[in-house]
Amino acid sequence: MSIATDLRLSRSLDTSARSGERSPKAMVFLVLLWVTMFIAMTVLLVLIVTTFIEGAPRLDLRLFTEYPSSTPARAGARPAILGSIWVICTTAVLAIPLGVAAAVQLEEFADKTKRINHLIELNVQNLAAIPSVVYGLLALAMLTLLRVQNKNLVIAGATALSLLILPVIIIATREALRSVPAEIREASLALGATPLQTMWKQTLPSAVPGIATGAILALSRAFGEAAPLLLLGGLVFVSYDPNGLLSGYTTLPIQIFNWTGRPQEEFRVLAAAASILLLVLLLAMNALAIYIRNHYQRRW
């Protein structure tokens, strides 16, 4: 869209008649604003295009069927892909029920005048901004406390990622619950439902699309995360398919990190090919989240 038409379409104020809107200074300012947006978009485009160009030659079946190898031509990411699936599914099972439960408690039942609930709220906000490596250190210390020698376990990695995304899920769920109008709850209570029935039968079902959107976005963040898993021994040579919660694993982002650090050019191509796969999967998750938000979200 051109700048001129955009100006005419702009919201709330009719600008075309106002003097000074087309002054050189105002025009330069608007151009600068567009330049900032353009730069951000261009970097995204360049990132996607360069990754595709570099990785395309190795984006073939071998990536999905082969195990890591010191010979680039025979190396693949099969265990990493399966490992990511194991870890993310376990993370979802752990984090979503806990996050939703905590959010329901804070939003629906907690007495908001109490100091302690205010403290919990502040604490959730703060947890959301703690660097991801710190969650890795927490999980590492927990495993040390439990005297686990081999820390490369699906359940350990999933625990670290669950703790990491828990605040994100709580915040998203609370927002979804808050957007359910009070009349729904009042009507349910007026018909004789208990607060628990109201929450379970009315409020929560109405909030499901918002919760689903938030949960998918949180899981996609966990999917792309590598730092906490590095601390838990995630960077290992896995030449088998992970097959359970106590199995060893590596994940796609860690496999990419591993390949990026190799001196041979071929491994960097492999890293780019795996990055394409990761990007496509994450974009699909994001698109799904946006789709749910736009199509199932009820407007009250």
Interactions with another protein, residue window 37-76 (CB under 8 A): 37, 39-41, 43-44, 46-47, 50-51, 54
Q: Where does this chain touch another protein (CB under 8 A) — which range of 5-13, 76-84, 187-195, 203-211?
A: 5-13
Shortest gap between Cβ of 101 and another protein (angstroms)? 4
Quick count: other Cβ atoms within 10 Å of Cβ 54? 18
Binding flag, residue 146, another protein (CB under 8 A): no
d(CA 206, CA 197): 13
# residues contacting another protein (CB under 8 A): 97
Q: What is the DSSP letter of 199?
A: I
* Distance in angstroms between the alpha carbons of the first and the last residue of the chain: 32
Binding flag, residue 144, another protein (CB under 8 A): yes
Shortest gap between Cβ of 2 and another protein (angstroms)? 12
Contact between 73 and 265 under an 8 Å Cβ cutoff? The reply is: no
Shortest gap between Cβ of 271 and another protein (angstroms)? 6
Shortest gap between Cβ of 183 and another protein (angstroms)? 23
CA–CA distance from 248 to each of 64, 156, 195, 226, 234 (Å)? 19, 10, 44, 16, 8
CA–CA distance from 178 to each of 104, 161, 194, 294 (Å)? 10, 26, 19, 18
Locate tokens 């990055």: which residue? 275
Binding flag, residue 165, another protein (CB under 8 A): no
Quick count: other Cβ atoms within 10 Å of Cβ 101? 12
d(CA 196, CA 202): 10
Shortest gap between Cβ of 241 and another protein (angstroms)? 22
Decide whether 39 or 243 has the Cβ nearer to another protein.
39
Half-sphere exposure for 108 (CA within 13 Å, toward CB) = 27
| Helices 78-104 and 252-260: angle between axes, nearest 10 degrees | 130
Decide whether 33 or 93 has the Cβ nearer to another protein.
33
Among 83, 167, 242, 248, binds another protein (CB under 8 A): 167
Contacting another protein within 243-262 (CB under 8 A)? 253-254, 256-257, 260-261
Locate tokens 């099972």: which residue? 93
Decide whether 119 or 244 has the Cβ nearer to another protein.
119
Q: By rule CB under 8 A, what string of x and - marks binding of each residue 193-232 to another protein? A: ------------------------x--xx-xxxxx--xx-
Decide whether 183 or 269 has the Cβ nearer to another protein.
269
Contact between 67 and 270 under an 8 Å Cβ cutoff? The reply is: no
Among 136, 210, 214, 242, binds another protein (CB under 8 A): 136
Among 16, 23, 65, 239, binds another protein (CB under 8 A): 23
